[in-house]
Structure 1
Amino acid sequence: MTVVLRSPQEFKQWRRQQKGSSVGFVPTMGALHSGHEELLKRARQENDLVVLSIFVNPTQFNDPKDFEKYPLTWDQDLKMAETNKVDAIFYPRYPEMYPDNYRYKVTEGEYSKLLDGAHRPGHFDGVLSVVMKLFNIVAPTKAYFGEKDFQQMTLIKGMVESFFMDLEIVPVATVREEDGLAKSSRNTRLNSEERAKAPAIYKAIRESKSAEEAANSLNQQGFKVDYVTDIDNRRYVAAFLGEVRLIDNVQI
């Protein structure tokens, strides 16, 4: 049975009782989909225990409206956790995660300023800060991240190495819909017309000869492109369909 723990103190007490067990950790903001399920399955295969966290972290949203619209699907999330034999869900609230009201934060000074960081000021400070808190509370052996958020995953891996944190970051390949669209909790906010158009993102970054060509293709199809950029043999994209911002990346 999956146990639900609400405070850092409660979780740490549970964690201390799991002596000698390897812990696979999947940090999420909820609204779980089959991409998250892939992370949970991998964690289940490789560890004695699996921990899932669900916390919609306000410090990583540079747009308050985006935070307010983030989907909350607790019943569905709990069912997925139980189906995948998750041992514990850490489900904290803001005051317990930020007792200092976010006076202290983790900042990276180079890579976090590119791509998403250039378009979402403060976003990665919020991500790195909350992930470090989660790692300190959960004390995992391995933590699992999807390659859809490749920049985020790279920054977290760098943070773990820089601060000598005793865990392994495990990348998991992007899970896609049959039409190529990367699975994302934000996809639920697309209307039917936008959902039909969304797979053009993957097609453009995969098939275009250059980042500029991919950006032009998306602009012509009615997307509002934040960026298409090639860095270290990988092509990254962020583009709006209506009010929904979608990201993706492919190796080139």
Structure 2
Amino acid sequence: MSTMNFDAQEKIHMQLKDLKGVHSTLSTYVERKIIQHLRNYKIKDKKIIEEVEDYLGYYLDDLFNAVKFSCDIDGLPPKKLRKIDINEYLNDPDKLNERVEPYDFALNDKLKNVHSQVEDVVHEIVNLRKTKPQTYYESYKQKFAANEKQIDDAIENNRQLREQELKQLESDDGDKDEDENFIEEDFGSVKDMLTEVNEVLHDLVELKKDIPESKIRLQNLCQTVDFILDS
């Protein structure tokens, strides 16, 4: 058995004092009709008339407690509306005289529109949280693979160039002319010359390191000599 969702229904928006007016008008109208029918049936017994009026009051109370779910009364939350007896509110002077802003239909439409937009944005964010991380991962993975390939290609090109240079050097060593033989006899092979150059550069580096230390020792020696001469 399905239950009706009162919260999802379109509601009649009204203030409590307006509902009180409806209740009073309906009570007066129904009471007059009932009394008229009783008179038509020539029922004049006051006890019967009072019992009928009491039953009529109970019926109207039940009717308005049922109708309250179709109304938005002074902005009362649905949960609170379920718990209250609407007839007690209708007979409470403090509630009836309480100042309540009139219902603004235009503002309500704007709120519904904003609420709908918020739901759309939340739905979009949920979808992005599901799809974007994977998209970024795939994009990063592709870029990483492309960069890795470029690095591997550069290393391979460098290796090939070195092999070509070594082969060229070996070819040059094997195809020396008379001038190259003369140079080889006096200064050794090209490799020996490179070795000598590297040794000279190494000596220069070591010398550059020793110069500051030698300068400090020389300054200390000069200070010592000056101290002895002044004594």
Q: Larger Cα Rg: Structure 1 or Structure 2?
A: 2
Structure richer in strand, relative to its length: 1
TM-score by length of 2: 0.12
TM-score, normalised to structure 1's length?
0.11
